Amino acid sequence: MDRIKLIKEQIEEMMDEYYNSDLKVSQILANHNVNIPPSKLLSLFPPIESDEKCPYCNVPLIAKRPSRSYPKIHKSDYFCPQCGHRNMDRCCCDGCQERQQQERDQAQKVIRTTYPKQPNKSLADLSLEDMINFGALCMFNLSSDMTSVGPVGYYTSITPAKDWDRDLLSDLVKKGFISVSGLSPVEAFNPDVFPFDYDPRRVVYDINLDPADVQLIIDGRQPDLSVETNLLEVKSIWRKINKSLIYNYLLMTLASFNFSFSPGDKTKILVETMLDHFALSQSLYIVKKCVGEGVVNFKEGNIYKKHAVNQIITHMINYTNIAIGNGFKKISFDPPLLPSRPQNLLESALEQYVIYRLLKINNSFTSPINQVQL
């Protein structure tokens, strides 16, 4: 007997036997003279109808009958027999996709009206630091017509430090050189306070400068380094970058041996002394050497980690002082160079902009800042 010929009462009897007895499925089928594979039994039963209707087709949502081993029915088991809509967030039926698209279009419209294009500033409004910050930002998805930039993204660095990145962006926005673009993706905004709170690394920024001025900055023709004070200021930014890199390297190297550390005044003075005398590569050599020796001492001796870290800093201070001739024998020497830049010490956009576009030097790693001639 096939399905069409099964009468309603017979199906009800089979359902009763299936859910309310221990009879095997094959036995139930045999009792009713139904010749189908046991796995098909459930498909004979009428679906369960929900009180809820499909928002698109206005017919009740239905669910397949559960098996007796998993009798529980979840809300997401109900679906629309006409369009396939399911009662869940990630439903991708045509109706839901269309509704999501409409919501996105609406949200995009709100973003466009909330963040209109701001008036352009003139190049004279930018300080040297503003230009450099802006030049570094332009390394991230600058549009070909140079009217927008970003998103910066999560895994890229404008500067060597995350909080520096954040300050750089908020400063450029605050001064009006860039502003959140109405074309920023909806995902960049916090849905709880839409559209007022946004993720600065995910939005697109309108550039509020003339494209010709943008070109001057990205080419490194502005700021003008033939002016001595400008050159000194760029070098001080280079120094700030290197300072951050030395800290990063020190913390990363210590962390690789599970040593935690927060730099105090002694370390800050040490790093300034290194920057006065050594190239980045020499400073990193000192860090690597002293941390390495400190770890050996720690493993051999019976000392606490905190004490071991203090010894490492003291060792670095002593080594640096002797190298610059402040030791009691008054000798000085050049610390060796680290053969290559450590892989985990990434070159940020700011560093690339300052070194290659502005200073145009190719030995920045091995040159002490104070001795570079341009």
User: What residue ranges bind Zn ion (CB under 5 A)?
Assistant: 54, 56-57, 80, 82-83, 85, 91, 93, 96
DSSP 5: G
Compare residues 94 and 276 and give the one whose CB is closer to Zn ion: 94
* Min separation Cβ 192 and Zn ion, Å: 24
Q: Which amino acid is at 231?
A: L
Helices (H) and strands (E) in the chain, counts: 12, 5
Euclidean distance between CA atoms 120 and 177, whole angstroms? 8
* Rounded Cα distance, 73 and 206, in Å: 51
Nearest residue (CB) to Zn ion, 12 versus 98? 98
- Shortest distance in whole angstroms from residue 29 CB to Zn ion: 33
Q: Is the Cβ–Cβ distance between 246 and 187 less than 8 Å?
A: no
- The residue (of 73 and 83) whose beta carbon lies closer to Zn ion is 83
What SS3 string covers 134-163? HHHHCCCCCCCCCCEECCCCCCCCCCCCHH
Whose Cβ is closer to Zn ion: residue 54's or residue 217's?
A: 54
Give min distance, CB of 143 to Zn ion, in A.
Answer: 36
Residue from 244, 12, 35, 218 nearest 131 by CA: 218
Label the pairing between strands 205-207 and 60-63: unpaired
> Would you say the C-alpha torsion 200, 206, 208, 209 has a positive or negative sign?
positive
Closest CB to Zn ion among residues 85, 277:
85
* Cβ contact 217:207 at 8 Å: no
The pair phi, psi for residue 55, each rounded to 5°, is: -65, -20
Least distance to Zn ion from the beta carbon of 57, Å? 3
Shortest approach of Zn ion to residue 52 CB, angstroms? 11
Identity of the residue, 74 or 109, whose beta carbon is nearer to Zn ion in the bound complex: 74
C-beta closer to Zn ion: residue 54 or 203: 54
Measured from the CB of residue 81, what is the shortest distance to Zn ion in angstroms?
Answer: 8
Minimum distance between the CB of residue 54 and Zn ion, rounded to whole angstroms?
3
Give φ, ψ of 4 to 5 degrees: -60, -30
Measure the N-to-C terminal CA separation of the chain; round to a whole number of Å.
Answer: 96
